[in-house]
Amino acid sequence: MKKKRETFSEQIFLVVYILFAVIMVLFFSILIALYQKRVLEFKVFLACILLFMLGFSLLVYIFEHKIIQPFQRKIKKFKKFNEGLIYEELFEEDYQMVPELQEVFQRLHNMLDKQSAIKISTKQAEYLALQNQINPHFLYNTLDAIRGDALCAGKEDIANITEALSKFFRYTITETENLVTLESEIENAENYFAIQEYRFGGKLKIVFNLPEEPQDILRLKIPKLTLQPIIENAIFHGLEKKANAGVVVVDFEITDTKFYISIKDDGVGISEEKLEELNAKLERVSVSYVNDERGKSGGIALKNVCRRIKLLFGEEYGIHVYSLPGMGTDVRITIPNIHSEGSQS
């Protein structure tokens, strides 16, 4: 086992404590010598000891609270940053002990923001290039033609699924805003589910539990493509592996400041070990964990949705997953309560 190497700061603190000890020993040695030579009376000797102990204790207290404890707090933040648990908090820290370090972190923060902007711009350029290659209008016109032929032939099921596919692609490709109404998201999720239901031959079912007067809740704003990726995840990781029919239930709950969405399936569920690992990853998805996950599998859709939520609204929002093997999975989404006009209630 490799021996842990002491850091420079630990060596400095050790030297300071040794220096304190040396000063104490020297002071007491001199004081005792003066008392033995009858230079100091006992009362003066005792008073000097008490004053020294008081001053020494005050010095140690100041050193502990003004230097040691702030330093230890910074070390804890460094560790949390390395574990992906915090991001902005590291750069908001006040590094008074080393002002140059403050400038280094500020410059690093600016560089990271710049690199993030460059990466986003690159991805956006790739997206636009892909969009141009697909030629959406050609795709929509082709699907509309297929739907028309299906209706003429009396194949209403093919016509309906073609229409759902056309609407799904139109929503996914052409609308690029960050926030959309819940009504739009539900409509897109229903189009997607209709396609999957056709594919699985009616084996699947989805239920949206809206309040009796859904107008207000349908106008709430949520990040675009929040529901569909999680519903897709429920189908392929939960319901598709079942032998019999499966159902997805979507519930909504509103408080004064927050909006909760629950997407439950009665699929195969997730093992305790994998569930713990997944939730740990969902806690860490932030700017510091923006990475390329192509080629990986398992929970990618959840992490992508969770990352967008955290980037848009902050670390207190996101996704948490509850599941039991053989009993199904419940994905809980937490976002702020935002109305269509953009004001948070």
The predicted model scores a pTM of 0.59
Which pair of tokens denotes residue 273? 């070990």
Residue 284: predicted pLDDT: 77
Q: Contact at 8 Å (CB) between 29 and 48? A: no
Residue 130: predicted pLDDT: 53
Residue 209: predicted pLDDT: 94
Question: Look-up: residue for tokens 């070990």?
Answer: 273
- Rg of the chain (C-alpha set): 31
Q: Contact at 8 Å (CB) between 345 and 324? A: no
Q: Of 332, 342, 341, 291, nearest to 312 (Cα)?
A: 342
* SS3 (DSSP) at 290: coil
Q: Give the chain's residues under pLDDT 50.
A: 1-2, 121, 133-134, 287-298, 342-343, 345
The Cβ of residue 226 has, within 10 Å, a number of other Cβ atoms equal to 24
